[in-house]
Structure 1
């Protein structure tokens, strides 16, 4: 299913692209490389000068190294294109504080606390929020998502479709199906 056609003609002004790539390293660790790119379709005047159409206003990149338990072992952030050179591009080293965090246990909340307001870059912090599910997809490459490993699959009860009382779980994860609770 696609989005319906626009109801009124329109002209595109801005594109934001977020991309995350997952890698298995030769030493058995994992890496996620992520980027956020903002591009305007029109010339864009900003305090540091005119940004021509098609030239990135923002280009931020992250690389994190993970172990099999989703613990961050190394982190690197860089801002290649920024609206305020000499300001925006100096925050990268602050993101080394990610080392030791777990991507799937309270990560988004912790990132929000660690890098709120002037403690971080809005765009890098936003990019970080896409990493947990990208890591899960990277790790899922190596096993079937309904493989019985003895533990409740991570994705259950983390979205509406995979609530353990749902028909979807009954069909694809019968061991973990809890049935519908009677309603009063």
Structure 2
């Protein structure tokens, strides 16, 4: 269901964020993010001169490589368009994210390594959807492969007891521990949520 009909308005700015997940032939995973900001009007920029309508004021790329353990093993960042000539100079600093694990506390760890003057606001913001895309790319494949392995072990008669826990429990309303999804998908995690 789309949003309701808006009042009459003028289109001024568009930000696009695209993230794509890839499984590599070497067993690692690449997650790529791309961010652009464009305006519907031209304007003068001190470092770049006239920026026509539709030409990006920001255009950045970010690729992280990680293992199935969700630990970042490589990072590449590129700035194609930015408002200042110096913006692209900080892109190599994103290699400092190597060793971080996609999971709880990631945002603060990213800020510690590439926050403020040690990074680019847009590349740092892009790490949020890139991290989510990593999760969306890797976990379903891991779950499918684990289920296939479990089925094969059951078929062979040497299956360990099945535990159906999920790291997603209580991360959002749909995955609440007392909800129908958890009861169906991860029954070992199903429980009442304490009242506050």
TM-score by length of 2: 0.84
Cα displacement string for residues 116-155 of structure 1 (whole angstroms, at most 9, x for unaligned residues): 21111000000011122111110134235xx686363121
User: In terms of Rg, which structure is larger?
Assistant: 2
| Equivalent pair of 1:166/1:180 in contact (CA under 8 Å) | no
Partner of residue 22, structure 1: 21
Partner of residue 71, structure 2: 71
Q: Report the count of equivalent residues.
A: 181
Cα displacement string for residues 78-123 of structure 1 (whole angstroms, at most 9, x for unaligned residues): 10111112x0010011000011110124211111222221111000
Partner of residue 123, structure 2: 124
- CA–CA distance in structure 2, aligned partners of residues 75 and 128 of structure 1: 11
- CA–CA distance in structure 2, aligned partners of residues 167 and 22 of structure 1: 29
Higher helix share: 2
Question: RMSD of aligned C-alpha atoms?
Answer: 2.2
- Structure 2 residue runs of 5 or longer lacking an equivalent are 151-161
- Structure 1 residue runs of 5 or longer lacking an equivalent are none
- CA–CA distance in structure 2, aligned partners of residues 150 and 180 of structure 1: 20
- Secondary structure in 1 aligned to 2:63? strand
- CA–CA distance in structure 2, aligned partners of residues 180 and 99 of structure 1: 36
- Secondary structure in 2 aligned to 1:36? strand
Partner of residue 134, structure 1: 133
TM-score by length of 1: 0.89
**Pairing 1:59–2:72 present:** no
Partner of residue 32, structure 2: 33
- CA–CA distance in structure 1, aligned partners of residues 55 and 115 of structure 2: 28
Taking a change above 3 Å as real, the CA distance of residues 141 and 26 of structure 1, as seen in their structure-2 partners, is same
**Pairing 1:161–2:171 present:** no
> Greater CA deviation, 166-175 or 151-160?
166-175
Displacement of 1:55 = 0.5
